[in-house]
Structure 1
Amino acid sequence: MKVAAMVWGSDIPLLDAGARREGVHIDITGVHNVDDPEVQDRFLRSQEDADLILLHPSHDPAWDDLIPRLRTDIPVVSFGHNQDFWSLSTIPIKYVAAVSAYMTHGGEENYCRMIRFLRKIAEGEDAEPEAPLPMPWEGIYHPDSPEPFPDRNAYYSNHPRRHTQSIGIVFSRTYWANGDRGIVDALIRRIEQFADVIPIFCLSGGDVDLGARPGPVVARENFSGEVSLIINLQPVFRSSNSEVSGDIFSDLNVPVMHPILLYHKTRQEWLDSPLGPSAMEIGWSIALPEMQGMIEMLAVGTEIETGEETGMHEPIPDRIERICRRAEAWLKLQAKSPKERKVAFILHNKPCSSVEATVGAGAHLDTLESVARIIQVMKQEGYTVDPPSSGKELIDRIMEKRAISDFRWTSVGSIVRCGGALDLVDEKTYREWFSELEPSVQKRLEESWGRPPGEEMEGVPAAMVHDGKIVVTGVSYGNAVVCVQPKRGCAGARCDGEACRILHDPEIPPTHQYLATYRWLERVFGADVIVHVGTHGNLEFLPGKSAAPSNRCFPDIAIGTIPHLYIYNADNPPEGTIAKRRACATLVNHMQTVMQASGLYGALKDLEKLLEEYTRAQESDPARAHTLEHLIIDSVEEGGIGEETDL
């Protein structure tokens, strides 16, 4: 017997396993490629010698072209959660419902029962289907235990606590049931090195008819008061009944990271893609979770590459490491007392727009005063800081010390002499950091900026190198440092106004000093969190993928493992989204500045009237004009602008 199947990826491993056990030949095509004419043709060829057609349709309009070309002389079974598609079947609806029930309950045994029932249908038997084997709709999973645990107490009796903090993992029941657990297992093994882990599976939205509780209810029961962070692998994490879900994230009050699974991309396809996820995956796996408040959407796994569709996935080892190290950093931030925490503030500036005049540039935000007041509040909350009294004091100190990047009239030597260097990173230390980069990244940096710590390239001097050491600039306020975003790539004293081209060039990597600054904040200063202040800097616009970055993407390389907060203009969600997707930013929005025309007032308003009258009197009444000259000078003095106008 042969079955021609076009089904969802999650069906493939169990259908394949069930068919092998039952001795049935099944030719499986993944539904995600139904809009590809070649895939359609291949499926239609596979049905030519089939005994039964098995479909799990989607809403893709390509089905309108495919359905009329299906054979009608053999049984067609169209199953799935959506009963609207059942009408494509040529068998009684009660049989379709039975096939769908096997799929809904999941597990290899139920798919074996499905295959046995399909064989009877193909052979024309009028037999009743076996009942599905009941399986749990939810549970706590661990790879060392053959069966899931019904509750936290049972789980802890087999996996006792070993750490002071715990992380909760939420993943789909489908992946538990079909054995696609490699990614979850990898996360569990790595997390257990620094925290306890409670991995739950469930139906995200629940199902009242099945007796399956929604994910938020299961999570609240297992995570409340237990976990310090959640890693949620489900794109949607709420019940259709908002009263049942409640505000689950606010209730739990912990960060919720959302690593994304690239369902239909192999690792190499993901690495080669400049976009990262497909448009469908961005909508489903990134945009929806963003709207629910999830953060840090790094790729966690890809489809296993075998040459055939398997519906199975594998972890990306370096991304597992990055996700878990970032999760560990969030835990450390929570566990530290305020007096121990270290915070790095990054101010922006606009090269080629007179760098000294644009330190702390931010759309509709007084970034300097904001930073000063935040550090003042930190002092009140017990942080070990000595805050500036005002934004003016902060900028005066930055400019006095020349704690910026070199520019047309600011040399690296003057920065060091004035005390603007937080540290000088020697070549040996930077080479150790540089050696950790992926080889192709090292090559790009050397092609653009020379060998570490930087060399003159095509007339452009090495960026911020003094006596062979990389200069990290900023001002210190105890356990808080304030830095101006490091040098993106202009020519310093030889700048010809072209840095703005570099700023958004998708190919030119940042300088050695740029990466050294962020690595210094992470490794030497020991920042527990980085706060970028104001809309916007250039970290999120460095070369790399649009979303789900790899270890070859410069925003991901720069931010490293440090928790990243970004004070951002609420009126600019598109570019804020870029920061979230490319640089693991958690946005802290601020409202728009309310602005109105200030106009003139007091003595300045009187001065305006005198100037207008003087202009008219110059031609018609010279004597009056002479009198007005004296009145204008008096008004200038009274308005307080005498010194500024040099009158």
Structure 2
Amino acid sequence: MSATKLRDLLRRRGLIALILACLLVGIGGYLLWGHYGAPTRIALVNFPGYMSSGIIRSNGSRHVSFAELEQTELDKLDDYDCVLTFGMGLKWTAEDRAKIAEQGKHGAKHLVLFATTDENNINTLGSKEGKRISEYFGSGNKANYRSLARYIRRYVDAKRWFAPEPDSVAPSATDVYYHVDESVAFAKLSDYEAYLKQQGYYHPGAKKVMLVGGLNDPFGGNKQNLDSIIMSLTRSGLNVYPVTSFSQRLRFLKEVSPDLLIHFPHGRISMTGGDEVVAYLKERNIPVLAPLTLMAGREEWESDPQGMMGSFLSQTIGMPELDGAVYPYVLSTEERDKDGLVVLRAIPERLARFTTLVHKFLTLQQKANSEKRLAIYYFKGPGQETLAAQGLEVIPSLYRFLRHLQSVGYDLTGLPETEEAFAQQLMREGPVIQKVSGGMMADYLQHGHPAWVKRSELDRWMQTDLSAQQLTELKEKYGPAPGSFMTQQRSGDTELAVTRIQYGKVVLLPQPMAGLGEDSFAIIHGAGAPPPYPYVASYLWARHAFAADALLHFGTHGSLEFTPRKQVALSSSDWGEALVAPLPHFYYYTIGNVGESMMAKRRSYASVVSY
């Protein structure tokens, strides 16, 4: 072999050796990177959107990533270095659990947190790791969620590069007053009020509203809904006291002595010493409003004919009802932000109405009885049928009630001196008219002293208080407003008559028929159609023209709670909400009809007073 060929051979062998060395270094580097430095991928399965968003937002590492998965996406779990599953609401089958167990045999690292059954209490990480992760979640706040990501990378995924030591579990602030600034956490009322004054949030002499409860922790990194509620109430002139506490709510109530309590419900007002808390609220006559936070997007909720169901219904509406909380008014829903993460946000127009509602409840506390304006609805059949209510002699009971109101200072100027004269006036000036024919409507419009509502006035009220869907339904069913029933040409325009009898600042109104037809029973219990214009106009007149401070339905029962659409968690397109909110609503209801009284509470926001 010539010297030249030998040099070429050696050169080629050197090049091959270099290539092999580079390959070995590359493979080694790849293996080292995979073992020590590759990103840690964590799956969050079945977590509420607001909770997973708080975890993801708190992550401060570029080398840890989170992904949200549904509980049905078990085939994707192998793609992750660690799987964390939220145990509440799991619907795994035995087959699903067997698949998870098989994945565990092949090294999958899976931990179920907050499991509600033994079979779902799964931990393939090890007891030490499972305990530490559970502790981070047990005190869920931004610091602990940040440490959670570090801990999983370093001790579960066993990465050593870009893996700083996690902090120990940081106690979550509890039994404190909080505010929109996440760094605010005051154990003492005096310190909190000093902060309010310093920041310009305090209103000397103003009413005090206390906030308790909530699905989202105010220190968990996802509290936009709470912030907007706090600021809306504050800007309206109220002093707001948001409290996070599980076991000390009674102490905070006594300390603050609020004029009104807002409970963001998921269970009782207080899960410890609940009866004592209720007794204190009753003793001090503190109203409790229970606005709802939904685990659904706005469109999903608005299109849902039920509104809410299952265990979430019992915890969010049923349990608070037992404690006396009222007005289960949807205030916050889930929404995706610009990063695609779920945030809880108060719906702006609903928050504005809720703020008005809070002030109306507070007005009832501070306004003199002589100045309060009360609209009372009673129920009767059409024509000359008498007033009706289950288990109640209505005319004597209503008259005595009005006399009692008069005795405690309400303005009932013109109330007849005798029950007999009162009954005659009710039948003469407060009828329910079911049809145009027969001459009764014409006679009443001529001699019955109704309140007249101009077409333009009714249009303005409906545009303000009804949804576009409701306006369309009314027009399709009954023609352009105000329709042809209970109307008359006056001063060159069509006006609609609202049947009412007014005594000073208290007005009595017969609830109009909620539909057209001859079957009164079927109409009252759900006509399956939008209520006619006279029905709508009656409630809007009470709110806008009469300027009622509150509504009262007298006796069991009317038709408002049987109008179409949602069963609970009403939207602005539900008639029970559109015709009542944002007024305090009271319902004098028989204690012998619990089932339908629940409908009155949930479908017309009624505070039920039993007889």
Contact 1:13 1:312 in 2 (8 A): yes
What is the alpha-carbon distance in structure 2 between the residues aligned to residue 165 and residue 243 of structure 1? 25
Picking from 119, 125, 138, the partner of 1:91 is 125
Aligned 1:542-581 pairs, distance under 5 A: 542-581=563-602
What is the alpha-carbon distance in structure 2 between the residues aligned to residue 221 and residue 125 of structure 1? 50
The 1:240–1:415 alpha-carbon spacing in structure 2 relative to 1, beyond 3 Å, is same
Q: Name the structure 2 match of 1:607.
A: none
What is the alpha-carbon distance in structure 2 between the residues aligned to residue 257 and residue 189 of structure 1? 17
Q: Name the structure 1 match of 2:259.
A: 228
What is the alpha-carbon distance in structure 2 between the residues aligned to residue 234 and residue 123 of structure 1? 38
1:50 aligns with 2:80: yes
1:253 aligns with 2:253: no
Cα distance, 1:482 vs. partner? 1.4
Cα distance, 1:108 vs. partner? 1.8
Picking from 183, 192, 195, the partner of 2:225 is 183
Q: Name the structure 2 match of 1:625.
A: none
What is the alpha-carbon distance in structure 2 between the residues aligned to residue 432 and residue 59 of structure 1? 46
What is the alpha-carbon distance in structure 2 between the residues aligned to residue 517 and residue 242 of structure 1? 40
Alignment RMSD: 2.8
1:12 aligns with 2:52: yes
Contact 2:54 2:222 in 1 (8 A): no
- SS class of match (1:247): helix
What is the alpha-carbon distance in structure 1 between the residues aligned to residue 63 and residue 252 of structure 2? 39
The 1:187–1:129 alpha-carbon spacing in structure 2 relative to 1, beyond 3 Å, is closer
Q: Name the structure 2 match of 1:262.
A: 294
Q: Deviations over 1:87-137 (max 9, x none)?
A: 521233233221111112222221121111112233448999641123311
Q: Name the structure 2 match of 1:314.
A: 345
Q: Aligned partner of 1:157: which letter?
A: A
- SS class of match (1:312): strand
Q: Name the structure 2 match of 1:361.
A: 388
Cα distance, 1:445 vs. partner? 0.7
What is the alpha-carbon distance in structure 2 between the residues aligned to residue 85 and residue 221 of structure 1? 44
Q: Aligned partner of 1:256: which letter?
A: V
Q: Name the structure 1 match of 2:243.
A: 201
Cα distance, 1:202 vs. partner? 1.9
Cα distance, 1:307 vs. partner? 11
Picking from 538, 546, 552, the partner of 1:517 is 538
- SS class of match (2:134): helix
What is the alpha-carbon distance in structure 2 between the residues aligned to residue 410 and residue 145 of structure 1? 68
What is the alpha-carbon distance in structure 1 between the residues aligned to residue 117 and residue 446 of structure 2? 75
Q: Name the structure 1 match of 2:113.
A: 79
What is the alpha-carbon distance in structure 2 between the residues aligned to residue 239 and residue 175 of structure 1? 16
Q: Deviations over 1:286-321 (max 9, x none)?
A: 111111110000111111146998452121222212
Q: Deviations over 1:8-43 (max 9, x none)?
A: 31530233224463521222225xxx4xxxxx1x2x
Q: Aligned partner of 2:55: which letter?
A: L
Q: Name the structure 2 match of 1:412.
A: 441
Q: Name the structure 2 match of 1:28.
A: 68
Q: Name the structure 1 match of 2:552.
A: 531
Contact 1:77 1:90 in 2 (8 A): yes
What is the alpha-carbon distance in structure 1 between the residues aligned to residue 401 and residue 556 of structure 2? 17
Q: Name the structure 1 match of 2:96.
A: 66
Q: Name the structure 1 match of 2:175.
A: 138
Q: Name the structure 2 match of 1:582.
A: 603
What is the alpha-carbon distance in structure 2 between the residues aligned to residue 539 and residue 173 of structure 1? 31
Picking from 417, 423, 442, the partner of 1:395 is 423
Contact 1:166 1:195 in 2 (8 A): no
What is the alpha-carbon distance in structure 2 between the residues aligned to residue 6 and residue 510 of structure 1? 45
Q: Aligned partner of 2:456: which letter?
A: K
Q: Name the structure 2 match of 1:114.
A: 148
What is the alpha-carbon distance in structure 1 between the residues aligned to residue 519 and residue 299 of structure 2? 35
Picking from 473, 478, 485, the partner of 1:449 is 478
Larger CA deviation: 468-477 vs 81-90:
81-90
Q: Aligned partner of 1:114: which letter?
A: L
Q: Aligned partner of 1:137: which letter?
A: T
What is the alpha-carbon distance in structure 2 between the residues aligned to residue 86 and residue 130 of structure 1? 29
1:171 aligns with 2:195: no
What is the alpha-carbon distance in structure 2 between the residues aligned to residue 498 and residue 466 of structure 1? 29
Cα distance, 1:258 vs. partner? 0.3
What is the alpha-carbon distance in structure 2 between the residues aligned to residue 389 and residue 65 of structure 1? 76
Larger CA deviation: 144-153 vs 267-276:
144-153
Q: Name the structure 2 match of 1:615.
A: none
- SS class of match (1:345): strand
Q: Name the structure 2 match of 1:635.
A: none
- SS class of match (2:480): coil
What is the alpha-carbon distance in structure 1 between the residues aligned to residue 211 and residue 559 of structure 2? 33
What is the alpha-carbon distance in structure 2 between the residues aligned to residue 508 and residue 393 of structure 1? 37
What is the alpha-carbon distance in structure 1 between the residues aligned to residue 471 and residue 586 of structure 2? 28
- SS class of match (1:184): helix
Larger CA deviation: 89-98 vs 499-508:
499-508
Q: Name the structure 2 match of 1:278.
A: 309
Contact 2:182 2:218 in 1 (8 A): no
Larger CA deviation: 321-330 vs 570-579:
321-330
Q: Name the structure 1 match of 2:403.
A: 376
Q: Aligned partner of 2:285: which letter?
A: N
Contact 2:487 2:497 in 1 (8 A): yes
Cα distance, 1:584 vs. partner? 0.9
Contact 1:188 1:197 in 2 (8 A): no
Q: Aligned partner of 2:363: which letter?
A: K
Contact 2:178 2:244 in 1 (8 A): no
Query: TM-score, normalising length from structure 1?
Result: 0.79
What is the alpha-carbon distance in structure 1 between the residues aligned to residue 602 and residue 452 of structure 2? 32
What is the alpha-carbon distance in structure 2 between the residues aligned to residue 5 and residue 480 of structure 1? 57
- SS class of match (1:443): helix
Q: Aligned partner of 1:11: which letter?
A: M
What is the alpha-carbon distance in structure 1 between the residues aligned to residue 398 and residue 575 of structure 2? 26
Q: Name the structure 1 match of 2:514.
A: 488
Q: Aligned partner of 2:291: which letter?
A: P
The 1:282–1:475 alpha-carbon spacing in structure 2 relative to 1, beyond 3 Å, is same
Q: Aligned partner of 2:468: which letter?
A: P
Contact 1:52 1:74 in 2 (8 A): yes
- SS class of match (2:294): strand
Larger CA deviation: 180-189 vs 99-108:
180-189
Q: Deviations over 1:561-608 (max 9, x none)?
A: 221110001111111111111111100011xxxxxxxxxxxxxxxxxx
What is the alpha-carbon distance in structure 2 between the residues aligned to residue 251 and residue 120 of structure 1? 55
Q: Calculate percent identity across the aligned residue pairs.
A: 22
Cα distance, 1:364 vs. partner? 0.4
Q: Name the structure 2 match of 1:295.
A: 326
The 1:472–1:547 alpha-carbon spacing in structure 2 relative to 1, beyond 3 Å, is same
What is the alpha-carbon distance in structure 1 between the residues aligned to residue 340 and residue 95 of structure 2? 23
The 1:451–1:295 alpha-carbon spacing in structure 2 relative to 1, beyond 3 Å, is same
Q: Deviations over 1:383-440 (max 9, x none)?
A: 122444454432211223354435454533311332341x111112112112222222
What is the alpha-carbon distance in structure 2 between the residues aligned to residue 406 and residue 537 of structure 1? 15
- SS class of match (2:569): coil
Cα distance, 1:82 vs. partner? 6.8
Aligned 1:586-605 pairs, distance under 5 A: 586-590=607-611
Cα distance, 1:84 vs. partner? 5.7
What is the alpha-carbon distance in structure 2 between the residues aligned to residue 558 and residue 518 of structure 1? 6
Larger CA deviation: 558-567 vs 47-56:
47-56
1:347 aligns with 2:378: yes
